[in-house]
Amino acid sequence: MLSYKHGFHAGNHADVLKHIVLIYLYILVKKHNKSISYIDTHSGNGLYKYISKYMEKNKEYKYGIKKIEKYTGDNKLIKNYLSIIKTISKKNNFYPGSPSIISNISDNNDKLYFCELHNNEFDSLKKNLKKFTNIKNINTDGFEFIEKKLRNDRSYFILIDPSYEIKDDYIKINNFIDNIEKYEKSKILIWYPILSFEDNDRFIENLRKKGIGKMINLELPIKSNKEEMGMKGSGLLIINFKEKIILRDLKALSKELHFYLKQNDDVYNPKVRYL
């Protein structure tokens, strides 16, 4: 039984980081490809109203999107993300999830597959995205979907964004990376939370030992190590992207987001590196 509801967290600092990088990479891939086969393994419902029992509970979006909504700096990744979010949510009454963002920036040459296991979230996803014709919503386990349904000889853009409410998700990410050769033609973006810096270092060191080579890791700490509660930050694994400019762009982005989103003075610096 899944109890996680993304509505409690939508628009928080982790969504901001993930969605900025998702948009940036999708547009980068689209520059070189007429069509993209995109898979969101953990889609959520695609649209989160600010006035709702979920978003109002902890108001996490106040420490995420609301901190950069009026951004006047010159980072082009942040500016592009904000302009897309504003176009999707014209009245600014909801925060769009990843399926909604990608549906809006894709075109009819692209085919989008959205996996969501939770029945209620799946029903809402179908309703929220009903105007799009290039999408397929699937009420299934996203890990099983990519494992069983993907053809090894084809290229995909895959977002893997589990909730990590169960420890199994870390094991599944590790297993996925152990089999990464199967996906050598695909572009992959994986999100993960930083709950404790010590556990996170072990997770990353374990991944580093696998010696993948084509894996960029971005980590954005938001809270000081002394804070007892909640997520301390989040990270991304970016796999099979060769463009050199990515590292430079992500370094500039993480520095800017760190400045705007960090919640204490003594927060660790962000990291962007090849593992």
Ligand X SMILES: C[S@@+](CC[C@H](N)C(=O)[O-])C[C@H]1O[C@@H](n2cnc3c(N)ncnc32)[C@H](O)[C@@H]1O
Is there a contact between 129 and 55 (Cβ–Cβ < 8 Å)?
no
Our finding on whether 64 is near ligand X (CB under 6 A) is no
For the bound state, the minimum distance from the C-beta of residue 216 to ligand X, rounded and expressed in Å, comes to 19
Rounded to whole angstroms, how far apart are CA atoms 92 and 97? 13
> Catalytic: which of 15, 40, 110, 161?
161
> Could you give the CA distance from residue 257 to residue 245 in angstroms, rounded to a whole number?
18
Catalytic, 201? Answer no
Closer to ligand X by Cβ: residue 40 or 110: 40
Residues 34-53, interacting with ligand X (CB under 6 A): 40-44
Nearest-approach distance from CB 244 to ligand X, in angstroms: 27
Nearest-approach distance from CB 79 to ligand X, in angstroms: 20
Other C-beta atoms closer than 10 Å to the C-beta of 22 total: 24
- Separation of alpha carbons 50 and 94, rounded Å: 5
Cβ 64 to ligand X shortest distance, Å: 12
- Give the contacts of 65 (CB within 8 A, at least 6 positions apart): 11, 12, 15, 16, 85, 95
Q: Which residue is nearest to ligand X (CB)?
A: 97
Q: What x-and-dash track marks residues 100-139 binding ligand X by CB under 6 A?
A: ---------------xxxx--x------------------
- Maximum pairwise Cα distance, the chain: 48
Range in contact with ligand X (rule: CB under 6 A) among 82-90, 159-167, 207-215, 256-264: 159-167
What's the CA gap between 235 and 257, in Å, rounded? 13
**Catalytic residue positions, numbered:** 161
